[in-house]
Amino acid sequence: MPKLLASVQLDIHEPLPIDVLRFGIIHQDKSPQDFVDQVAMLAWPRGVREYVAETLDDEVSADGTNVLDLFDRYNQIAVYSVNPWNADLINRLIELYPQEKLSIICSDDEIDRHWKYQCLIRSEPNRSPERDAELREKLLYPPSVEKAFEGMRRWLIGRTPWEEMLRTGRRAPIEILPHIPPILNRIPGLQDVERSESVYRIVLFPKPSVGKDHFLEAARKIVQENKTLALEIVSFRNDMPTLSLIDAGTRPVWLRCYPYPIYEDMYHRIIAASHGLVIVPRGGLSTIRDAVRYGLDLISIFPNTANELAVTADIGLLLSPLEKLEIQGIESQQRRNFNRTELARYEFSSITAFRNIYCTA
C-alpha cells in the first residue's frame, strides 16, 4: 500500500484524502518471494492516517472510535486482496454497507486461486467432503473466501484475462473497475546502470515460479532461436548452480542464477542492466512493467498465459519475437519506445481512475 499510494500521489506536497486500516493479527511469516531487504519505503503520503485493529470492536483512537465507527465516515471502502485472513471482514462489510461503497483492490493471486478452485471442482464434481477440504486448504480458498468472492461486486483489476477468470463459477453480478492497480517502483540510481554493447543479456523469468524442467526448456529454446547472437542468460533461483552452461545442441551459453531471495536494489539493477526479459506465466507484473520502463524487450515463451494476455491485450504492449532479438536496431528501438509510451499512458489512466474512485468526495 505505501507503494500504491505513493504512485497515485501526483505531487509530493499534495495531501491524499485516504486513511489506511491495518486489520487483523499481523502475520510475521515472510513470503518465500520477499526480498532480503526492501528498498526503504517513503512515509505515508501527506494526509494519509494509519489505524491498527485486530477485531471490529477494537478502539482505533483515543476518543473511543471503533472500527465500525471509522467505516461510517467514508464514501468509499476498499479492501486490498481477498484471503483467509480478511474474508470475515469483507463479509461483514457486505452485510453493513451498500455495494456502491465497497470494492476490492485486487491482485492476481486471489483470482488465480479462485479460478483454480472452480476448475478443480468442475473436474471433480463428485468429490468427497474430505477432498474438497483438501483442495480449499491447498488454495487458501475456505468457504469464507468463496463467500467474499460471491458477495463483493466491485473489483479493481485489469480486464484481460482477469475478468473472465473472476466470473468463472460466479452467480452474482459483477462490476470490473478495469485497471491494474498502479504500483510504480522508484529505485534510486538506476540511471547509472550500464548495459553491454556486445552481449545480449536476457532475464529468464523475474521470479522463481517456473519449475526447473520448464525453465531449462525455455533456456534451450532461447539459445536455439538465436544461433548468431552473443547471449548471456540470467535468472533468480536456488535449485541450480550460480554459474553453468546451457548447451542446446548448437553452442554453449552462460547461465547466471542469482540466489533468491535477493536484495531489492540489486534485483532491479540486474534487470536494468539487461536487454530483454522473459515474462513468467503469472505474477511479477510490477517487475514486468519496471522492465518496460528500463527499456527492455518483453519476450513470452509460453503462449496465452495470464501475463501475456495482460500485457498485450489489456495494456497494449508489443512482444519481441524470440528469433529476432538484437541489442540495437531500428525495429527494436521503435518497439521499446512504443512500449514505454503505451505503458505510461496506461498507468496514467490507472492513476486517474484510482483517484476518481478513492480520492474524491
Residue pLDDT, tens place only, 86-145? 999 999 999 999 999 999 999 888 999 999 999 998 898 889 999 999 999 999 999 999
Instruction: Please give the CATH architecture assigned to the domain spanning 190-345.
Output: 3-Layer(aba) Sandwich (3.40)
Mean pLDDT on 216-240: 93
Please, what sign has the CA dihedral across residues 164, 169, 175, 181? negative
Task: Summarize the confidence of residues 35-57 as an average pLDDT.
Answer: 78
Q: Span 65-73, mean pLDDT?
A: 90
> How confident is the model over 326-348, as a mean pLDDT?
95
Where do the DSSP E strands lie in the chain?
19-23, 49-53, 77-80, 102-105, 154-156, 175-177, 200-204, 231-236, 243-247, 252-258, 276-278, 297-299
Give me the residue spans of the domains in the chain.
Answer: 2-184+349-358, 190-345
Question: CA 212 to CA 361: how far, in whole Å?
Answer: 50
Which residue intervals of 320-359 are DSSP H helices? 330-358
Residue with the larger pLDDT of the pair 186 and 52? 52
How many CB atoms within 10 Å of residue 57?
9
Residue in this structure with the C-alpha cell 552473443, named with its chain if needed: 230
State pLDDT tens for residues 138-189.
999 999 999 999 999 999 999 999 999 999 998 899 999 999 999 888 888 8
- 40: phi > 0 → left, psi -120 to 50 → alpha, else beta; which? beta
Query: Whole-angstrom Cα distance, residue 264 to residue 249?
Result: 35
Cβ atoms of 90 and 152 within 8 Å: the answer is yes
The DSSP 8-state label assigned to residue 215 in this structure reads H
Q: How is 112-160 classified by DSSP, letter by letter? A: HHHHHHHHHHHH-TT--HHHHHHHHHHTT--HHHHHHHHH--EEES-ST
